[in-house]
A = this chain, B = another copy of it.
Amino acid sequence: MLGMEAAAPKLTREELVERLAAEFPEAAHAVGDFTIEQGWFGGCRVRRRFSHGSLRPGGTVSGPIMMALADFTLYVAVLSAIGWAPLAVTTNLTINFLKKPEPRDLVAEARLLKLGKRLAVGEVGIRSDGQDDLVAHVTSTYAIPEVSR
């Protein structure tokens, strides 16, 4: 969305990390490999550390890992635009797998395409660290809870 990159996020990276850790303790294991590298209003970049446990036959990172990464990255992008709203929920998600990722870190970057009162829609591009081509592309919608508006 035009000009959004210039605006300050509603939550800093540090605030997000702290709140997510406090409210999602049980999920900490699952998202432990996800690092929020940068956040801005309506967008962010998240790194997923490579680990051998995520390999599929053929030596590529599994699809569910990429889906979880995209979902988390867009969740952070939504929070960066509306502030802390842990009950925001994904209503749908479409992922296209474009290329086999190499056995290295994944870097996901999300941006909102729409920020409405009830729905936020965004896209996420996932790349193998240091490469230009996308390994996966995601579009997804979040329902924004009334309480957070």
Contacts and interface: CB of A to CB of B under 8 A. Distances in A.
A95 interface: yes
Interface residues of A, number: 49
Query: Chain A contact residues: over half helix, strand or loop, or mixed?
Result: mixed
Given A53-B26, A63-B90, A71-B64, A96 B139 contact: yes
Interface string A20-37: 000110110110000000
Given A2-B132, A24-B57, A30-B62, A97 B91 contact: yes
Nearest to A131: B2
B64 A94 contact: no
Contacts of A53: 26-27, 29-30
A49 interface: no
A132 to B, nearest CB: 4
